[in-house]
Structure 1
């Protein structure tokens, strides 16, 4: 068995650049096949987190814009009441 290990090392040293690249690609492919489910679940979790953030930010923006409109309406009503209010020596 030890002789086979030495033979493999010697054969790896004799590999051409194209064969080394092919060997690396096979190792990468094996890695991705082995870990595909774990990577896919991480991607889903990340996607859901980003989606929740975007939906939350959108909802917050819409809510704050509605509140600004309400505040503008209240301010306008206050101005109208102030203008139509009773005339005294202090506000005339």
Structure 2
């Protein structure tokens, strides 16, 4: 019974050691690749930012164009209602 108990504790110890080893390997991986990961994150952030700014600019521009077109349409309606400028009504 004493041998079984000793066997279990060594299995648990090796499992804990394996987990610790895995954590160390992960930490080493992140340390080695931190610069790559940071640069990828920056590139992704810049791309997303550029997309958002582009969409915002496009939306603002298209709304301005709609307003300009509405103004032109309103002027055209007013001129149409007034009628053509001839010698008699100018």
TM-score (norm 1): 0.73
* Structure 1 residue 6, shift from structure 2 partner: 22
1:8-61 CA-partner distances (Å, limit 9, x unpaired): xxx998853332222111111000000100110111111111111111111111
Structure 2's unaligned 5+ residue stretches are none
Structure 1's unaligned 5+ residue stretches are none
SS in 2 for 1:88: coil
TM-score (norm 2): 0.75
Normalized per residue, which structure has more helix?
2
